[in-house]
Structure 1
Amino acid sequence: MSDLPRIDPSRNLTRPARAYAAVLRTPPGRWLAINVASKVDPWLMRTSRGKVGMGLMLPSALLTTKGAKSGQERVNPVLYFHDGDDVIVIASSFGRDKHPAWYHNLKAHPDVRIAKDGGGAPRTAVEVTDADEIARLWSQADRIYPPYANYRQRTDAVGRRIPIVRLIAG
């Protein structure tokens, strides 16, 4: 199992990462992320032990949850960053109308793991609900992935609030 590299949201994105994020903001880039990367990344990241994924230079890892209904293990690529010892993930679903399936899974079964290769130490998922904390974490999330602002506009238009989830060690 690979470790989860520490992602400091106060650091600026590299120029290539900003360019890649800009591509993902376009309709073809968004389509590629939704229809190809989200399906191929679990295999790529597991096979390469976390060294290769379609997220390229973005801070991505594999989140392992239990299915909300089935209890079966589910693995999904997510973007993440650190807040102290905790890992923060955003249930954006690319700004679509519904929450991603992994969000429903961790709400039903909050014991999760996250790592570059799909393993990782056990963590507990807790949704962030405090308005000031949400605002602070959004400002950090926007630094690691600028398209989040566009995703919020999309979901606001349909009345969906994008959840922010804190993954607590232990």
Structure 2
Amino acid sequence: MSSDGERPKAVRVPPRWFVRLAWSVHRGLVRLTGRRVALWQPRGRRWGTLRLTTTGRRTGRRRSVIVAYFEDGPNLVTLAMNGWGEGEPAWWLNLRADPDAEVELTRGERQVRARAATGAERERLWNRWRELDTDLDGYAALRPQPTAVVVLEPRA
């Protein structure tokens, strides 16, 4: 059920191997093109993409992923969805262990601190995601746990 009590429409996601391959190709495009092709800004009713670099919770190594986002004032907002599969994405587990991270945008780099939105803020941001992706509730229903709405706040 969605948060408004309606049953979400059925959606399909590609097989897990395809999702992982797409992520790898996207990261490679960012590296090869220096952000020119695979990162974009959100515009109107379309989300953007950014490169998020976290510190591995077990290894201490830098780990980068490409995630969708939109801007909420000075903050960037993304979803910890793991390709709509089970479990939390590794980048979100890393941020829960160490919330300081770096993002690359088309406009350059930024230092951020991550946190999960809760309560009314989460509901407001989830509704904004719904405007960008009308199938959001259907995809979220595929996951056995709620999807975290992650706020990346600028840090000095």
TM-score (normalised: structure 1):
0.72
> Deviation at 1:60?
1.1
Given the superposition, is the C-alpha separation of residues 164 and 58 from structure 1 closer, same or farther in structure 2, using an over 3 Å criterion? closer
Q: Structure 2 matches for 1:1-170, cutoff 5 A?
A: 26-28=12-14, 32=18, 34-53=19-38, 59-116=48-105, 120-129=109-118, 131-155=119-143, 158=144, 160-170=145-155
Amino acid in structure 2 at the alignment position of 1:86: N
Judge conservation of contact 1:42–1:77 (CA < 8 Å) in 2: yes
1:68-111 CA-to-partner distances (Å, cap 9, x unmatched) read 11110000010001111000111011221101000001111111
Percent identity between the aligned chains? 27
Structure 1 unaligned segments of length 5 or more: list them: 1-24
* Count of equivalent residues: 139
Structure 2 unaligned segments of length 5 or more: list them: 1-10, 41-45
Highest relative contact order (Cα 8 Å, sep 6+), 1 or 2? Answer: 1
State the superposition RMSD in angstroms: 2.3
Give the structure with the larger helix fraction: 1
Judge conservation of contact 1:90–1:162 (CA < 8 Å) in 2: yes
Judge conservation of contact 2:117–2:149 (CA < 8 Å) in 1: yes
Runs of 4+ in 1 over 6 A off after TM superposition: none
Q: For 2:66, what is the secondary structure of its paired residue?
A: strand
